[in-house]
C-alpha cells in the first residue's frame, strides 16, 4: 500500500488595525518557511470558502475592536465573517495586541475568557514599551513565538486528520 502524500498546509492569517500589524511581513515570511506551507495565490473567495480552505486560522494581531466584535458575534467585515463561520473543530489562534490600559480593562479579560471557551487558542501578549510610550502588557507576542505555535498546532492537527 502506498504512503499517502501529505497535502500542503493552509493557514489563514487575519490582520486587524493594531500597530503590531507592522510585523505582518516578518510573520508571513516566517510562516512561508514552514515545510509544506501552501504558497500559491488564487482568486478571491468568500468567507465560507476561506473557512473551508483553511486548516488553521491565525488572527495576528487581534486588536481590542475586533476582539469586541468577535466576542459579541458581530460580523461586519471579511475577517469577522470568517471567524463567525469558523469550523470550531479546527484550530483558531489569536494574538491580542492593544494598549496596556485597554488590556487591563475588565471587559478584556471577559472577552478573552469567552474566546477560550469556544476552543480558540490564545498566544498571550507580552510586556514592553508600546509605540505610544506606555510600558506594560499589550504588545503582540514575538513573531518567532507565533510561528512556533502555528507549527506546533499544524503538526498536531495534521496528525489527528
Give the active site residues. Answer: 132
Closest CA to 90 of 149, 32, 161: 161
- CA contacts within 13 A on the Cβ side of 100: 12
CA distances to 15, 28, 48 from 45, rounded to whole Å, are 17, 20, 8
119: which 3 cell numbers? Answer: 476552543
Q: Is the dihedral of CA 69, 74, 78, 83 positive or negative?
A: positive
Q: Is the dihedral of CA 138, 139, 140, 142 positive or negative?
A: negative
DSSP state at residue 90: S
Amino acid at each position: 500500500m502506498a504512503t499517502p502524500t501529505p497535502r500542503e498546509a493552509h493557514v489563514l492569517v487575519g490582520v486587524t488595525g493594531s500597530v503590531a500589524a507592522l510585523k505582518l511581513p516578518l510573520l508571513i515570511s516566517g510562516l512561508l518557511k514552514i515545510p509544506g506551507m501552501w504558497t500559491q495565490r488564487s482568486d478571491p473567495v468568500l468567507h465560507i470558502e476561506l473557512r473551508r480552505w483553511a486548516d488553521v486560522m491565525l488572527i495576528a494581531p487581534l486588536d481590542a475592536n475586533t476582539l469586541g466584535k468577535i466576542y459579541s458575534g458581530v460580523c461586519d467585515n471579511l475577517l469577522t465573517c470568517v471567524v463567525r463561520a469558523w469550523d470550531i473543530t479546527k484550530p483558531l489562534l489569536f494574538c491580542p495586541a492593544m494598549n496596556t490600559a485597554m488590556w487591563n480593562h475588565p471587559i478584556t479579560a471577559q472577552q478573552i475568557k469567552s474566546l477560550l471557551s469556544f476552543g480558540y487558542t490564545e498566544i498571550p501578549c507580552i510586556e514592553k514599551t508600546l509605540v505610544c510610550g506606555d510600558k506594560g502588557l499589550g504588545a503582540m507576542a514575538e513573531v518567532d513565538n507565533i510561528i512556533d505555535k502555528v507549527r506546533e498546532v499544524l503538526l498536531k492537527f495534521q496528525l489527528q486528520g
